[in-house]
């Protein structure tokens, strides 16, 4: 691992951090001393991924489960969606909107209602069924890869990736696809867990988002910027947000903790990064 380069900023300053055991598998977590991100390195093999996902029949939330999980956190996704779509209305050069990994459609629904022309992409069958029930429209049930990229070259003004990039081993492949489907001047809107957050610093190796092999990338803002810059994007907007389980809010000393976490947003140290990049 020593001497490996960072998958985000490409600096050769990656250092082994710790090993994380997940059931009978183990994954090495590394940190990049240049951009401050962390990642699973070496990347999990396809065999390790298959082993994990087969054991968990994962990523199959029904609409009811997705809604219940979403409502159990404050703020919920409808609040996030309103804020993000409003921001995109100001930034995007047009109305064509692609929602990658659309889930049950919280963001697509809001984008529709604010006048965007939405193309949603969601490979998981349960999520796709939930999407159809919530949004009233069916997503393309596939991954963003070859065929769909060819079909949609330079066709979009906005591409949204919410809670997607932290799962992707081949980040360069994903950024290439993203860039292909966006028109020049188009906006990539990104939401990922924030490895530079106050809470992440506090938790260290116990960071709740370090969950291989589901999450393989733990981005700092500098790491995310470097990745997008390398693929021809410049950052045009940034905010961080914090979400907490509702059941914890009533507990002492949670109001204090939540207050500190909310305050951390104002210093760019909230739990989730929302970043907006314009394709040059
Ligand atoms: Zn780096």
Cα–Cα dist 27/43, whole Å: 8
Q: Measure the CA angle with vertex 242, ends 236 and 244; round to 5°.
A: 155
Please name which of 122, 87, 106 lies closest in space to residue 238, comparing C-alpha atoms.
87
pLDDT band at 58 (very low <50, low <70, confident <90, very high): low
Cα of 207 from ligand 1 centre, angstroms: 19
Domains (range + CATH), the chain: 59-279 (3.40.50.150)
Closest CA to 177 of 252, 231, 128: 231
Q: What spacing in Å lies between the alpha carbon of 10 and ligand 1's midpoint?
A: 6
Query: What is the Cα–Cα distance from 12 to 6, expressed in whole angstroms?
Result: 6
Give backbone dihedrals phi and psi of 263, rounded to 5 degrees, phi first.
Answer: -60, -35
User: Ligand 1 centre and the CA of 165: distance in Å?
Assistant: 15
pLDDT at residue 194 above 90? Answer: yes
User: How far, in Å, from the CA of 102 to the mean position of ligand 1?
Assistant: 28
For residue 148, the model assigns a pLDDT of: 85
pTM of the prediction? 0.92
Kindly give the distance from the C-alpha atom of residue 96 to the centroid of ligand 1, in angstroms, as a whole number.
32
The protein residues having their C-beta less than 5 angstroms from ligand 1 (an ion) are 6, 8-9, 32, 34-35
Give the residue with greater pLDDT, 202 vs 39. Answer: 39
Pairing mode of beta strands 244-245, 73-74: antiparallel
Which range, of 1-5, 223-227, 245-249, averages the lowest pLDDT? 245-249
| CA dist., res. 224 & res. 204, Å (int) | 20
Distance of CA 131 to the CA centre of its chain: 18
Give distance in angstroms: CA of 244 to centre of ligand 1: 28
Question: How far is the centre of ligand 1, averaged over its atoms, from the C-alpha of 126 (Å)?
Answer: 35
Distance between Cα 60 and ligand 1 center (Å): 32
Most confidently predicted of 131-145, 158-172, 261-275? 158-172
């Amino acid at each position: 691992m020593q001497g490996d380069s960072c998958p985000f900023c490409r600096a050769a300053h990656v250092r082994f951090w710790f090993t994380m055991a997940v059931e009978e598998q183990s994954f090495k977590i590394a940190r990049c001393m240049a951009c401050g991100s962390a990642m699973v390195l070496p990347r999990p093999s396809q065999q390790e991924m298959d082993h994990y996902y087969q054991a968990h029949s994962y990523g199959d939330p029904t609409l009811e489960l997705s809604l219940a999980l979403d409502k159990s956190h404050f703020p919920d996704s409808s609040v996030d969606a309103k804020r993000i779509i409003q921001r995109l209305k100001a930034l995007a050069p047009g109305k064509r909107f692609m929602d990658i990994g659309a889930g049950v459609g919280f963001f697509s629904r809001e984008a529709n209602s604010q006048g965007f022309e939405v193309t949603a992409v969601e490979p998981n069958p349960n999520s796709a069924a939930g999407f159809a029930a919530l949004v009233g429209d069916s997503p393309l049930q596939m991954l963003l890869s070859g065929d769909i990229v060819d079909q949609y070259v330079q066709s979009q003004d906005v591409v949204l990736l919410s809670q997607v990039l932290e799962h992707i081993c081949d980040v360069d492949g994903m950024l290439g696809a993203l860039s292909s489907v966006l028109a020049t001047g188009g906006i990539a809107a990104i939401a990922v867990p924030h490895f530079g957050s106050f809470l992440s610093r506090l938790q260290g190796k116990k960071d709740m988002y370090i969950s291989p092999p589901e999450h393989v990338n733990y981005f700092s803002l500098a790491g995310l910027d470097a990745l997008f810059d390398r693929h021809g994007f410049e950052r045009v907007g940034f905010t961080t947000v914090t979400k907490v389980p509702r059941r914890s809010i009533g507990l002492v000393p949670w109001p204090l903790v939540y207050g500190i976490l909310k305050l951390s947003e104002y210093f760019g140290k909230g739990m989730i990064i929302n970043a907006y990049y314009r394709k040059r």
